Each structure stands twice: as C-alpha cells, then as structure tokens.
Chain A
Amino acid sequence: AQRVTQPEKLLSVFKGAPVELKCNYSYSGSPELFWYVQYSRQRLQLLLRHISRESIKGFTADLNKGETSFHLKKPFAQEEDSAMYYCALTTGANNLFFGTGTRLTVIP
C-alpha cells in the first residue's frame, strides 16, 4: 500500500537559515511525488513536482529512490515561507496520497 510519512509536525527555523522538510514514502511502483503548500487563509496549492526538477520560490526537492525520500529544501528561509507543507504521492489512478503535513514557522 502507498504511504507518505512526514515525521515533523512542526518545524521552526530562523530567517536566513537553511530549511529541510522531510518526506518519506512507500510504494512498490514508480511514484510521482509533489509538494503542496497552504499559506495562512489560502487554499492548498501545488509548490513543486519531482518530474520537473524545478526550483519554486527557492525550494527544491530531489527524489531519492534508494532512500524513498523526497525532502523539500531551501538554503535561506524567508518569513513568507511560513505555511503548512504537504508531501503527496500519486500512483496515476487519480488519487493523491498525502502526508500529515509539516507546519513551518520562520522566525524573524
């Protein structure tokens, strides 16, 4: 069965410090992975997807199949990065399997 694990419910970092939000998954096939973000009083929205290997708002995430991880990283955190972050996996059957989320707080 598919499973997405985000081990940290809460994460606080100082502005300018590096940030890493952890995501591990279990799936026997080839996963397609995403990071979704929910800013305060806004709706859930896509941040980035592993297939595009892009950097969005300074965030990157690399799929590590050996470690079954898809950690989200940013070298210098900004206050506007404070939000709830969800890692999600799809098997292609129109279902997104979400982790429980990590609330990131960037301290000024």
Chain B
Amino acid sequence: NAGVTQTPKFQVLKTGQSMTLQCAQDMNHEYMSWYRQDPGMGLRLIHYSVGAGITDQGEVPNGYNVSRSTTEDFPLRLLSAAPSQTSVYFCASSYGRVASNTEAFFGQGTRLTVV
C-alpha cells in the first residue's frame, strides 16, 4: 500500500516554463488537496478536489491549475513558472472532508526551484 505518491521529488524550472506535479493515491479517497510550504510559513492550500470531476480553489490558487479525471490522480499544473513559486509542494488525501474524525494522508513532497 503506497499511500500518497508524488513525483518528482525535486525539480528545477526556468522562469516561464510549465510543468505538472503528479499525485496519486491508492486508498480510494475522495478528497485530495495540494499545499505549498514556503520558508517560515505553514502549509497553505492551493487547490482541492472532493471527487472526480470536482475541483475548487484554496487559499493561494493563482498560477496553478488542477483537474481530477480519476479518483486516484490529482495533478497540479504550473502554467508559467515564476520564482515566487519556488516552494515545497505537498499532496494530501482523505476519506472524507478534513474534520475531527478524518485524517489527511500526505505525500513526501516535491521541492521545486524556479530560477
């Protein structure tokens, strides 16, 4: 049981390039989310999905796109990378909405540097 798998683990992009961060989970969770963590800050929600075909914006969605065509996968697309998007990105999934009786499971993170 792999849990939540993110690829790649590390990535360096040039300003203006686009790329997709991959996230897959094998727990049949309906809810999936993307967070970013910047130095000295807590994790902040970028986008989330409550099921296949349904996505919504989080706290810091600008510059990112998501789609959810299957229950298992929730890719995060950077449309035109900017140095401000240098961060560590975490994907998370949960059986239901994050609440007192629901645990969020996290991937190992993707460290992205935009130069």
Q: How many residues of B contact A (CB 8 A)?
A: 29
- A45 CB–B CB distance under 8 Å: yes
Q: Is the CB of A90 within 8 A of B98?
A: yes
A95 B106 Cβ-Cβ under 8 A: no
Contact partners of B44 in chain A: CB under 8 A:
98
B42 in the interface (beta carbon within 8 A) = yes
CB of A94 within 8 A of CB of B48, answer yes
A76 to B41, CA, bound (A): 29
Interface of B is mostly: loop
Is the beta-carbon distance between B103 and A96 smaller than 8 angstroms?
no
* Binary contact readout A26-56 vs B (1 if CB under 8 angstroms, 0 otherwise): 0000001000000000011110011110000
B13-43: CB near A (< 8 Å → 1, else 0) gives: 0000000000000000001010100001111
B55 to chain A, nearest CB (A): 11
Instruction: With A43-B108, A86-B43 as known contacts, state yes or no: A94 contacts B90, CB within 8 Å.
Output: no
Q: Tell me whether A4 and B42 are in contact in the complex, defined as CB-CB below 8 angstroms, given that A43-B107, A45-B106 are known contacts.
A: yes
Question: Is residue B101 contacting chain A, with contact meaning CB distance below 8 A?
Answer: yes
Q: CB-CB < 8 A to B35: which residues of A? A: 96, 98
A76 to B38, CA, bound (A): 32
Given contacts A95-B33, A96-B43, 9 further A-B contacts (CB under 8 A): A4-B42, A43-B3, A43-B108, A44-B106, A49-B100, A49-B101, A90-B100, A94-B33, A96-B33
**3 nearest A-B residue pairs (beta carbon):** A98-B42, A51-B100, A44-B106
Q: List 8 A-B contacts (CB under 8 A).
A: A49-B101, A51-B101, A92-B98, A95-B58, A95-B59, A98-B42, A98-B43, A100-B40
Interface residues of A (CB under 8 A from B): 4, 32, 43-46, 49-52, 86, 88, 90, 92-101
